[in-house]
């Protein structure tokens, strides 16, 4: 009987996997590492999911996710044909890369940003063109415009910085960039931004969003893309038929029907974000001005003025039950922590713990 290892395609064999943020298995840890929403979705979500998790679950989901698309078009403009729904926006990014970036094609994106982009580019054997953020972690539009680029990926607000790019700048980028411009708006509801109007003007712009963050539905997996119907029809050609479960569709419908709950939650998170930012600054951290549901904070420079490493602080917080995000020895980020905005109580606890750690308690 043969026992030889299976032979994978070379580029698959070579590529590294994406490592998602840690999902700890112990229940008592305060998770401030993957930008989940501390406030629950509307109770109607629970009711609708309970109804769906009965005998009707035997049916395959609606392949078109029509209920979700209709609601989105009512809330955000356009028609249902402007929308496609994905198993998280991750799936849609994957579909977009498959549609527009083949082997050797250039894909441009600011760096650092959402690390998943890199993986999707590898998977397509496309050529990544990371453009470093400037010294203040701002996106430099001029550098982002490349005549051979097939796709430009712009997370806005960006992660892990939380910094948003103005609508005027995105409009300018849309006018100047070649190929497709994807504006990944996972965190848009915590900002004053939003590029859907720009996508209405430019048929090569795709806006992606998710219900994971502002809508408190990370575990349910619903993302969507807005673009010109021709472009949406192209994405439709390669997506999984039954990509969004019935449970996810009804949860999304309920959350969209009760959108005020999301808005109130987002307001609370924005208020807490401002408070956390100020508290950290008082403690000597440098905190970038965030438009997302997290902040990026550089730890105080030590007495000797050496470049800091946030790893020990990350570990100390984790030991005391607070999990935040550290990017290891990644250049420009090793002295930073990304902290998701939890409830006020969680953030108070984090600040107390931080004070204890600093005092060497």
**Residues between 69 and 108 that touch other proteins (CB under 8 A):** 87-88, 90-91, 94, 98-103, 105
Angle at 112 between CA 106 and CA 116, to 5 degrees: 65
**Does 264 help bind other proteins (rule: CB under 8 A)?**
no
Taking the complex as a whole, how short is the minimal distance between the CB of residue 338 and other proteins, in angstroms? Answer: 15
15 near other proteins, rule: CB under 8 A: yes
Q: Is 164 in the site for other proteins (CB under 8 A)?
A: no
- How close are the terminal C-alpha atoms of the chain, in Å? 61
Q: Is 321 in the site for other proteins (CB under 8 A)?
A: no
Min dist. Cβ of residue 95 to other proteins (A) = 10
SS (H, E, C) 250-265: HHHHHHHHCHHHHHHH
Selected range binding other proteins among 131-139, 234-242, 268-276, 344-352, rule: CB under 8 A: 234-242
Shortest separation between residue 299's beta carbon and other proteins, angstroms: 26
* Number of chain residues interacting with other proteins (CB under 8 A): 90
Tell which residue, 175, 195, 179, has the closest CA to residue 187.
195
Given candidates 68, 220, 287, 333, which one binds other proteins under the rule CB under 8 A? 220
List, in sequence order, every residue forming a beta bridge with 336; answer none if it has no partner.
298
Distance CA 174, CA 182 (A): 9
Q: Is 192 helix (H, G, I), strand (E, B) or coil?
A: coil
Q: Which of 243, 302, 249 has the alpha carbon at shortest distance from 51?
A: 249
Question: Helices 344-358 and 259-282: crossing angle, nearest 10°?
Answer: 20
Q: How many helical (H) and strand (E) elements, i.e. helices and strands, does the chain have?
A: 13, 12
Q: Is 238 in the site for other proteins (CB under 8 A)?
A: yes
Name the minimum Å distance from CB 2 to other proteins: 4
Residue 324 is encoded by which pair of tokens? Answer: 């935040």
Does residue number 179 form part of the binding site for other proteins (CB under 8 A)?
yes
- Show Cβ contacts of residue 347 under 8 Å, excluding neighbours closer than 6 positions: 272, 275, 276, 341
CB nearer other proteins, residue 289 or residue 343: 343
- With respect to other proteins, which residue has the nearer C-beta, 54 or 282? 54
Q: Find out whether 89 and 209 touch, Cβ atoms under 8 Å.
A: yes
Eight-class DSSP state of 312: H
Answer whether 115's CB lies under 8 Å from 199's CB. no
Instruction: Determine which residue in the list 230, 282, 305, 307 makes contact with other proteins, applying CB under 8 A.
Output: 230
Scanning 3-11, 169-177, 316-324, 338-346 for contacts with other proteins by CB under 8 A, the matching segment is 3-11
Binding residues for other proteins restricted to 330-349, rule: CB under 8 A: none
Q: Of the candidates 60, 278, 319, 330, which one interacts with other proteins according to CB under 8 A?
A: 60
Q: Which of 49, 141, 145, 358 binds other proteins (CB under 8 A)?
A: 49
Q: Which of 44, 73, 115, 123 is in the footprint of other proteins by CB under 8 A?
A: 123
């Amino acid at each position: 009987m043969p026992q030889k290892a299976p032979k994978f395609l070379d580029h698959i064999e070579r590529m590294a996997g994406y490592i998602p943020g840690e999902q700890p298995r112990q229940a008592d840890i305060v998770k401030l590492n993957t930008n989940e929403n501390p406030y629950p979705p509307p109770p109607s979500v629970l009711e609708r999911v309970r109804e769906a998790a009965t005998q009707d679950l035997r049916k395959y989901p609606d392949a078109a996710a029509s209920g979700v698309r209709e609601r989105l078009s009512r809330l955000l403009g356009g028609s249902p044909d402007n929308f496609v729904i994905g198993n998280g926006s991750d799936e849609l990014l994957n579909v977009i890369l498959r549609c527009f970036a083949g082997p050797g094609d250039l894909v441009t994106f600011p760096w650092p940003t959402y690390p998943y982009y890199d993986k999707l580019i590898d998977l397509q054997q496309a050529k990544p063109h990371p453009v470093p953020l400037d010294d203040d972690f701002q996106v430099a539009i001029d550098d982002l415009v490349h005549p051979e680029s097939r796709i430009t990926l712009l997370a806005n607000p960006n992660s892990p910085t939380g910094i948003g790019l103005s609508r005027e700048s995105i409009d300018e980028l849309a006018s100047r960039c070649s190929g497709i411009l994807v504006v990944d708006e996972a965190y848009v509801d915590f900002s004053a931004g939003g590029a859907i109007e720009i996508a209405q003007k430019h048929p090569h712009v795709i806006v992606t969003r998710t219900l994971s963050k502002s809508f408190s539905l990370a575990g349910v997996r619903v993302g969507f893309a807005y673009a010109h119907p021709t472009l949406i029809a192209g994405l439709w050609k390669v997506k999984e038929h039954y990509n969004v479960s019935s449970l996810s569709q009804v949860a999304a419908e309920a959350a969209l029907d009760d959108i005020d709950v999301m808005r109130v939650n987002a307001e609370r998170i924005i208020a807490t974000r401002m408070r956390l930012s100020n508290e950290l600054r008082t403690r000597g951290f440098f905190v970038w001005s965030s438009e997302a549901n997290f902040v990026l904070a550089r730890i105080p420079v030590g007495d000797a003025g050496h470049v800091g490493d946030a790893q020990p602080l990350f570990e100390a917080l984790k030991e005391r039950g607070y999990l935040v995000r550290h990017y290891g020895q990644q250049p420009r980020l090793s002295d930073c922590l990304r902290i998701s905005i939890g409830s006020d109580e969680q953030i108070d606890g984090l600040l107390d713990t931080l004070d204890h750690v600093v005092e060497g308690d």
